[in-house]
Amino acid sequence: MTRPATGMGSIDWLAPILYGSGFFLLGLYIHLAYYPIGNVGVETDFYGHVAPAARALSAGQFSVHDFPYKGPLHPLLLAGFHEIFDDWYRAGVLISLLSAVVTLLLVYRLSLRHFGRRVAAAATLSLSLLYPFFVDAHKATTDHLFLMLSVMCIGLLATPTIRPPRVFVAGMIGALAFLTKYYGAILLVGAGAALLFAGASAERWCERWRGLGLFALGFLLIGAPWFWACWKQTGQLLWTQNLQNLGVAFYGSRLDPDDPARAVSSVTALVFQDPLRFLQEYARKLFAHRLLDVRHLMGPLAGLLSLLGLARLLLLGATRPQRVLLVFGAAYASLMAVWFYLPRFFTFLAVVYYMLAFSLFRVPRSARTVDRPSANSVTRGRWREDLGCRLRQLLGWRMGKLPPLGTLLLGASLVLIAWQNVAWTLQVERVNYQDRPLYIIPAADSLRSAADAQLEPPPALISRRPHLAFLSGLRHQRFPEAPLTYEELLTRAQQAGARHLAYGIGEFGDHPELAYLAALDSLPGIRELYRSAKIRIFEIPQQLDLSTLTGGEEILRTRLRIREAERGEDAAELLSEHVQLSALHLQCEQYERGVAAALQGLRRAPEVPQAAATARALHRLREVLALNYICLNRPEEAIATLEANLTESTPAAEGQNATTHEILGLQYLDLGRIEQAREQLQAALEGYRRLGDAARSRSIQARLDSLRLAARTPAEARRP
């Protein structure tokens, strides 16, 4: 077996610490200079679940339901750091940066002990430049804390023999990783496999089982308080909503995480919901995730080198610590196949990949002095040892003839991998820089001053992402996933105690069907609290009478179209939308609003319409305005409006005069002005006849006949 030297010189302490310090300062500078509140990626989890849980802990409130997807360790640390730095997001960033630096030191030490100094330096440098590692290091995320604890746990187990004290401590640290992210349970599985099967054949099975028992004891010792709290509050040893997400990931729309009757309650239920489909999907993901590792995490070169490094290690023979590392990597890759793929979820595998990739160029110290295989080794069935001895002899001879070859190849690979990692990191940073939600800062200041966050519980804010709600001291309520009418949305808002609704870029992208909410303030009782180019905030009254909002959704959509038309130059389109809006108010018996909408359109109309379409829209707008006046019992204003239509001499308006004459005639008839009514109805009849509208002509003729009969004297009535 290949056994690198384990001695550590001063350079092995000083260089990693200096490099880690530079890494920390660079990440802190990027945070302070460019990302005061982060971005819209991993920060969604931070502002939505982690930070609110930490804030509740700081206030002395504890509930298991505050931790639906992750354990309590990160919020506990966050609450402590916040007491020092008085900024929730900055406290989260410092936790990430410190965890990232410690991870780099641990990776260097682990690689140095079991693969040598050159592999350690190359693996550590490559990991630090890997874009999920570097970018998330200056963000408030739980990923780096979990990665640090995982590498620490594996480092304690990666020893030439099973050492009970280290195994016990490793179990405790594994529990801390589990209490950071629940898929830290993989460490328990990996530790069991490593302790039972990664040791030398000389290890007694009683020692292996004792080691596993010590690891489990340490794990339970740290995890027991959390399991007890879950049992006390929920009746379950572990309460989490991750299973529902897994169910939707495997079975799609067949499972609804919001429907308790169809929710996944256990891993067994997840598997046996449809066992065949589960196995097919699992096998597909297991293979697809490795391809995604190459495409989106490591790159082709690092992927190929890690595969060759794994083959070399298996053929030449691996030490027990190296086998422990491989077992944990296999366990992580196998069990994470049940999860959806994000590169940051698989940064742990990058540690293993880089160690394997650069170990390909390491020259084993024993390569020149290894014993030749015995003549009867093959007959004894020791073909693997025979092949390994011959490969070590060949490799040792080649490297002995060309000593710089291994170093040159390692250096060239490191340069290419580092170049690719830097390019990917810069690309991601550019995109993140462009997507910074800095517009949330002034919006949060305005909302904080207007909202009463001291209420218990604080009011809720409906928005797509939780940043604004947390920074304003409010509770966050997500937009429902399914498209809703405005009545359903406002009903849910009242049920959730939501007093505000934010609508901006995120909602336009994720919920285009709710675009009409940009005009929400047109509804009675709802007012606009804050407006900017990227976000608008509305205040929802605590007692909102939804019965007064009849037709509101179409009204909102029409107002939105009016705002879009105002930015253009098409007067006809603008007037047509005002006609639609006034007519909608008329249908909903909101006559005052109908009058206001029509008058607003008239103020924006050109004094002398040039286009025929504009003249027709203006003519129709006056008609709708007159109808609203009539319903408000304001006949004189209605008559004046209609007479303005009759003064139009444009050809576009001539065809519409018949309707105007009819409305005027009926209005005069209601006022008892019979002669004027007869005159207008006669003009309407002639207009309808010119238009060829037989039905309307017969209706007007019948009304004129009734007027003539009513006006006849008794003597005239007796004539045959």
Each residue of 462-471: pLDDT tens digit?
A: 888 899 999 9
Average pLDDT, stretch 16-43?
Answer: 93
When pLDDT is averaged across residues 318-345 and rounded to a whole number, the result is 90
What is the reported pLDDT for 363?
A: 58
Which pLDDT value is given to residue 309? Answer: 92
The pLDDT, as a whole number, for residue 422 is 95
Flag whether pLDDT at 25 surpasses 50.
Answer: yes
Q: Which of 144-153, 250-259, 499-508, 542-551 is predicted least confidently?
A: 250-259
What is the model's pTM?
Answer: 0.77
Task: Kindly report which listed range (96-105, 262-271, 523-532) carries the lowest average pLDDT score.
Answer: 262-271
Cα–Cα–Cα angle for 494, 500, 506, rounded to 5 degrees: 115
- pLDDT for the residue numbered 381: 44
Which position has the higher pLDDT, 230 or 406?
230
Structure tokens at 657: 């005069």
DSSP 142: S
Residue 435: per-residue pLDDT: 86
Choose between 558 and 73: higher pLDDT: 73
Average pLDDT over residues 132-154: 95
Backbone angles phi, psi at 17, to 5 degrees: -65, -45
CA pseudo-torsion sign 182, 183, 185, 191: negative
pLDDT score of 1: 44
pLDDT tens column, 119-131? 999 999 999 999 9
Q: How far apart are CA 694 and CA 50, in angstroms?
A: 72
Least confident of 238-242, 333-337, 394-398: 394-398
Mean pLDDT comparison of 323-332, 379-388, 508-517, highest-scoring range: 323-332
Decide if pLDDT at 711 tops 70.
Answer: no
Between 331 and 11, the higher pLDDT residue:
331
Which of 302-311, 483-492, 628-637, 664-673 shows the lowest per-residue confidence on average (mean pLDDT)?
Answer: 483-492
When mean pLDDT is compared across 72-81, 93-102, 459-468, 549-558, the lowest value belongs to 549-558
Q: What is the pLDDT of residue 55?
A: 93
Proportion of the chain above pLDDT 70, given as a percent:
80
Tokens of residue 609, six digits: 């319409």
DSSP classification of residue 178: H
Neighbours of 222 (CB within 10 A): 18
In eight-state DSSP terms, residue 67 is -
Q: According to DSSP H, which parts of 496-590 are helical? A: 505-510, 552-566, 571-587
Average pLDDT over residues 235-241: 86
pLDDT at 144 over 90: yes
- What does the pLDDT look like over 655-699, one tens digit per residue? 567 777 888 888 888 777 888 888 888 888 887 787 777 777 788
Percentage of the chain beyond pLDDT 90 is 36
Burial 458-487 (b: 16+ CB within 10 A, else e): bbbbbbbbbbbbbbbbbbbbebeeeebebe
Closest alpha carbon to 352 in 181, 217, 194, 215? 194
| Average pLDDT of the chain, as a whole number | 81
